[in-house]
Amino acid sequence: MGDWRSLAIALALLVCGACGGANPAGDAGGLDGLDGLPADEAGQDGDPGGDSSVDGGPETDAGDGDGWTGDGLQADGDAEAGDGDAEAGDGDASGDGDAPADGDGPVEPLFDLAAIRDPSTASCSLTNPRTVLQDGELIDVWDLSYLSWESLDGALSPIRIRAFAARPAGASGALPGVVRAHGLGGFAEPEDASTLAAMLDVCVAAYSGPGSGSTPENSSEGLGPMDQNGYRMFDTLRDVRGSWFWAHAVAGMRALTCLETLDEVDRTRLGMTGFSAGAVATLISAGVDDRIKAAVPLSGTGAWDVATRSPNAWQHDLLAAAGLGIESPEWLRLMDALIAPSAMIGQSRSAIMMVDGTCDEFFPLTAFEATCDAIPGDEKRISLAGNFDHGCYGMIGVESEETIAERADLHAKGAMRMWFGHWLGTEPDFSTVPDVPVVSVQSGSPLSLVAALVDESPAALEVEEVTFWWSDNDAYFFWDQTLEPGSGYWQAYVPMTLQANSIFFLDVQYRSRDLLFPKRFTISSPPSLPADLVPRIRAIGSCQ
């Protein structure tokens, strides 16, 4: 790899780090799965014109058909009363940061990890065993329930969380364990556990967050996120732990505690993933719980204060429904104590691969960059799905819904397969993670020269496609151009001219060398973002 680094210096390519971008001034510059929510068509302003065309993205392998779309944003209501067995444990799950005091008592820690990790208070229960055929594999599935906590009026109360556990049938020895968290308005289904167990060859616990569910079997106790028109998400005045996002993350960490009690699970190889609000819970958990060796948050970030600089960012609508705004003390306290990247993920010891769409209405590239930059160390990668938003597919007319959906599916599933396969030791093809690609743009008119350095050293992998993505309309939509291999680097002339609001990044698609069923994933370069970028976001009402 020394020669590769030397070539990077020789070409004077802009090295942006693992996450952060750079202002492309001058001549040189640097996906539950994925909810399905339609949106309006993209506008055509900022069209680069000329002979440019959209190639529809890289070819992907067929989807697994596991139903990754559809958490939705509808209010889920409160779960029905549980089985009445949520007895108080011997400790409060109360950690490492401090929750603001209300003036009537001592300040309590935000996360009490000793209590969260204590199996004696978790009351973990596996019932209703059955075996299902999932994606061509036999998977053992159980109903899972356990105790977690929510904060009511500054006091912690035990609640019973309902979930599903799954493991490949006939597997021998202890397998890694992965927790799967759902998005806002969602809940756990048996297939959420079985599809991930089949895809990753691990034990999985998929849980319904507090107050979430659709049936007695998957409905968890507690207040749901849409309680009081969504105020529960921001209920932090008396106790930051009153926020549903805190309770959602703690429920995920308690699922890890249940997995640890099983002889079939290797407690030294644990991971967590989730989409949207599930990604937020994953990031919070990875930031405080060092049991999580690897994490893959899909379409979720911190830095919501950065996101809401865009007037159409969807957080504004959630706040308005709850009678709040970005100046409300509830919001400011939530941002400071839980959602600020330094508080959320700044102390993480986990290896983290973040996946996002370039046009996300909740979690735009600016919030993505701020969150990823806060992850300590070098054991992190990103994968950006061009023109994917938050499931609305508002790019119809620029690209088809099918093209965007297939791309998002490859990025999400590929990231989980590769990242967990590497860090949890389940996939020899991923014994080496490729380095972050490096891209440089030499601006011209009407064509600019794009050159890139791509890590082609992993013997078990081959580079399938290298794609340059750019936007000149504040991330409203992106154009793409495939690069061709040259002498030690990849390059192409691209119909763009760098301007003050230009955004660009490189996405490298790898595949394993299996002849019949190769495994694909992508690694992206850090997006090059203007320092003062405010992404252009589609209004939430356009998502039909």
60: Cα separation from own chain's centroid: 20
Higher per-residue pLDDT: 14 or 482: 482
Give pLDDT tens digits for 106-155. 457 899 999 999 999 999 999 999 999 999 999 999 999 999 999 999 99
Report the share of the chain in percent with pLDDT over 90: 76
Quick one: pLDDT at residue 73? 24
Pairing of strands 203-207, 175-181: parallel
Return the pLDDT at 543.
Answer: 78
Q: What is the rounded average pLDDT of the residues 395-423?
A: 95
Stretch among 91-105, 166-180, 420-434 having the lowest mean pLDDT: 91-105
Q: What is the pTM of this model?
A: 0.84
pLDDT greater than 90 at residue 235: yes
User: Which stretch of DSSP H or E encloses residue 129?
Assistant: strand 125-134
- Per-residue pLDDT of 15-70, as tens digits, reads 334 576 543 333 333 333 333 322 322 332 333 233 322 233 323 332 332 322 23
Q: What is the DSSP letter of 430?
A: G
pLDDT digits (tens, 9 = 90+) for 278-337: 999 999 999 999 999 999 999 999 999 999 999 999 999 999 999 999 999 999 999 999
Average pLDDT for the chain: 84
Q: What single-letter DSSP state applies at residue 62?
A: P
Please enumerate in sequence order all residues whose Cβ is within 8 A of that of 228, keeping only pairs 6 or more positions apart, or say none: 235, 322
| CA angle (319 as vertex; 223, 234 as ends), nearest 5 | 40
Strands 479-482 and 155-168: unpaired
CB of 494 within 8 A of CB of 448?
Answer: yes
pLDDT(10) > 60: no
Give the DSSP H or E segment for 178. strand 175-181
Q: Is 151 helix (H, G, I), strand (E, B) or coil?
A: strand
Q: Is the pLDDT of residue 442 over 60?
A: yes
Residue 107: per-residue pLDDT: 54
CA dist 275 and 271 (Å) reads 14
At 208-233, the pLDDT tens digits run 999 999 999 999 999 999 999 999 99
pLDDT value for 515: 87
- Residue 275, pLDDT > 70, answer yes
Asked if pLDDT for residue 1 goes beyond 50, the answer is: no
Domains identified in the chain and CATH numbers: 2-61+435-542 (no CATH), 113-393 (3.40.50.1820)
3-class state of residue 266 by DSSP: strand
- Rounded CA separation 288/110 (Å): 10
Select from 71, 88, 154, 150 the least CA-distant residue to 122. 88
